[in-house]
Structure 1
């Protein structure tokens, strides 16, 4: 059924819809700061009409952003994305003002407020906010800046696809010409009969593939069951700490910690680790300070940390939808020595990768189970003991991007927290920097600054302990 104007949701995509709650939206977002000059009119105000018109032209690169969710009738298969005949760019590109004093803290607070509510499912599931009222950047006084908050539903993209989607929406050249005015007309949605026949063909095709190679199908099934069982063995292994608690609708707290990407690479290389290991070790240093500050014991404590990992084929990052698995890692919270901590983290991630092979089949089984139980009203996420928190890391563009000629000078990711998770960290690289965004429940984690400051201290100590990086800045 996938074709012009429509596309089926996968099992994992559908799970992202089913897991959404009013107090726990399932969207991913990026928060950027861009130079304001090219976006202003002759009076120094945002040229909103021209911005909308020019951005709408760029939708020819990302036609999925004109599509809306539609549920199929009974026996007609899973939901699908179809062209929205009522699409209007004004519903998706809007403005808000950052509160005084217009610094990074105020920008993060404004972004958090805008991200609290789920996206409107009667429209394409994305929006883009232009945030005015920012003060000049400390590195470039006198240069006006605008915040840019791009949000899209997790049913449409995973982290890697979200970066590719945003990059396609922007330009690699500040002088890039606008695409021609598109003559877009929404494709008519498929009829109920078309959907029924498509669903029947799909099921018959799957049955035929099983009958054509029953032995291979059995091996695939057994491998998937074995891998899923390995993941399920992680259930109820997360130690009880204050990191897991009931969360309410009081919002989140956002903090950003920045690392130099080249420095992170040098540190990782010097210790036989990866950049992702460096990110995890930095987070664990902050978590150690957080738990100690709460009077909780950390000696010998290993936390269960989920690290999303892509199972997307190389070169297919532009494909939308979800192609992601999850690694459950046992990471040290009590180690005070930064070098030893990084070594333990690197060993733990290697062990997790060896013991938990990722595949689309396993991901489909696990997310299908979770989404199905959620659809039945079972709040497993609110009672789970498989993980203490989540850390994601996505590679972003190394070269600068431009919004209608305005350079994107900074970009950080914003993820979500659900169930009884009070904490999550998302990392994104852009132009030689790693931005680590800490997202914490406002009620359960009011001491989030202890965590953020601890992460900065842990990174500084790790760099100082690495001769190859001690003389650099980052």
Structure 2
């Protein structure tokens, strides 16, 4: 028995290139060693037996070249769960180097498209490296899958709660999510018309637009000016580099937010914009505004993850105000731009385009990819993790970082992850474009201090947006 791959999942399969692997990467670290047998039991029971995609492989070809899922006839857990010894001295730099090397290594398409490495010899504890192909699920869903492996206590017995809030956030973001989910239903209804859409695939996009009431959003996407040249755009190679920051206490970020009428998310995004501005200036280039592709979750937060997982997200194009010199002005302008995007059906429209790309007609696929490649310079993902510490196979989880793929030949991915009262920034980049990602992290820390100082010394009122 085999099962046809959903078109929104097939789109990520088709975007795979040697210089841009469509693999989601996560690294988790612990202050104590993990028990191997207990880890095996957790992975088998909570991952492989619960979600079929982790024991199925992808088969391509056949009628219309459609990708399908089928059971792997010789599946063995030991082919996917492995032990690796970190080279001496076994510190942060060595772990970053190992993760970087993994980002340049494709998964084995003869097997289910995932692997989990227990990395022994990392400081006084250990680390886990997980790699999952994007055609299995989106990053937010996989974050929830990862959490399902953890417990609230070291003794186990009670799985940790969800990554996301219990209900939609209030205000404009809630309206965006509800409107975006409407288009998901329209896209599914359109898919059932099958042959008619294959004859005229653009109809799927038309229906997506109609479902989101977003004709203006499509027009805006297609008429956006190309992003300017910057150190973050250029030809890609196979070698990738990753790095992640020291965890920043959420309380420090929240203090800045209270002083400016901003959320923690507003502040972190503004610090990222300032970080990129510093990096561009240091290379003698004028800091012009650039856009980030920002994934938006389209699953209702209360909806349990389906056993088949899959991709249910859209993207928005967030213009980052690198051109503004004053940190406070940059924060308020970014907040204004994000509030504007929250009222737009743009995320749902891009979900429709990605779903249409998975139908395989080349013009539709090229359109979705070209929109992302020309209109943006990087990928920026923000996922909230557990607010309290959790345990995996009895060991307390000390920290987490993850990266989604950089589609459409984008060369830089930034990831923001919050866990147990701290925020961490991760950088993944093409080695030819950003050979030393730690320079970005240094700029991140400098910009955070600069914004905090600006808030302390501000004498003007917070603008109302």
TM superposition score normalised by structure 2? 0.79
2:91 to 93, 103, 106: 103
Change (3 A) 1:425 1:54: closer
* Number of the residue aligned with 2:294: 307
Specify the SS of the correspondent of 2:70. strand
Q: What pairs up with 1:308-323 in 2 under 5 angstroms?
A: 308-316=295-303, 318-319=305-306, 320-323=309-312
The answer (yes or no) to whether the contact 1:27–1:151 under 8 Å persists in 2 is yes
Summarize the alignment of residues 153-192 of structure 1 with structure 2, pairs less than 5 Å apart.
153-177=133-157
User: Does the 8 A contact of 1:31 with 1:414 survive in 2?
Assistant: no
- Note the alpha carbon deviations across 1:331-359, whole angstroms, 9 max, x for none: 21133322222111111112223344432
The within-5 A match list for 1:352-371 is 352-359=341-348, 362-366=350-354, 368-369=356-357
> What residue in structure 2 maps to residue 441 of structure 1?
430
In structure 1, the residue matched to 2:117 is: 129
Shift of residue 200, structure 1, vs aligned partner: 13
Residues 131, 149 of structure 1: 8 Å contact kept: yes
Deviates more, 1:221-230 or 1:427-436: 221-230
Number of the residue aligned with 1:13: 9
Contact 2:356-2:365 within 8 A present in 1 as well: no
Note if contact 1:62-1:169 (Cα within 8 Å) is conserved in structure 2: no
Hey, what does 1:220 align to over in structure 2? 210
Match of 1:27 among 14, 23, 27: 23
Instruction: Summarize the alignment of residues 6-405 of structure 1 with structure 2, pairs less than 5 Å apart.
Output: 8-39=4-35, 47=36, 51-59=39-47, 60-71=49-60, 73-74=62-63, 78-135=66-123, 144-177=124-157, 202-203=192-193, 220=210, 223=213, 225-234=215-224, 236-298=225-287, 301-316=288-303, 318-319=305-306, 320-359=309-348, 362-366=350-354, 368-369=356-357, 372-373=361-362, 384-405=373-394
Unaligned runs of 5+ residues in structure 2 are 160-188, 198-205, 458-465
Query: Take 1:281 and 1:10, find their aligned partners in 2: how far apart are those partners?
Result: 36
Worse-superposed segment, 26-35 or 348-357: 348-357
Alpha-carbon spacing, 1:168–1:112, altered in 2? closer, same or farther (3 Å): same
- The DSSP-based 3-state class of the residue aligned with 1:326 is strand
Deviation string 1:274-331 (CA, Å, 9 cap, x unpaired) is: 3332222111111111111111012xx2112221111222223624211111111222
3-state secondary structure, aligned to 2:379: strand
Compared CA separation, residues 117 and 347, structure 1 to 2 (3 A): same
The unaligned stretches of length 5 or more in structure 1 are: 40-46, 136-143, 180-198, 208-215, 469-474
Contact 1:67 1:83 (8 Å CA) reproduced = yes
Q: 1:25 to 1:58 in 2, by over 3 A?
A: same
Q: Distance in 2 between matches of 1:126 and 1:268?
A: 39
Q: CA RMSD in A?
A: 3.4
User: In the TM superposition, what is the alpha-carbon distance from 1:379 to its structure 2 partner?
Assistant: 11
SS at 1:328's partner residue? strand
Alignment: residue pair count: 416
* Contact in 1 for aligned 2:357/2:364 (Cα 8 Å): no
Report if the CA contact (8 A) 2:291-2:320 is conserved. Answer: yes
Is the contact made by 2:417 and 2:425 (CA closer than 8 Å) also made in structure 1? yes
Q: Shift in Å at residue 166 of structure 1?
A: 0.6
Cα offset, 1:97, TM superposition: 2.0
Flag the 1:293–1:18 CA change in 2: closer, same or farther, 3 A.
Answer: same
Per-residue deviation, 1:258: 3.0
TM-score for both structures, normalised by structure 1: 0.78
Separation (CA, whole Å) in 2 of partners of 1:463 and 1:108:
29
Which structure has the larger Rg? Answer: 1
- Structure-2 change in CA distance of 1:351 and 1:111 (3 Å): same
Moved more, 20-29 or 255-264: 255-264
User: How far did residue 221 of structure 1 move?
Assistant: 6.2
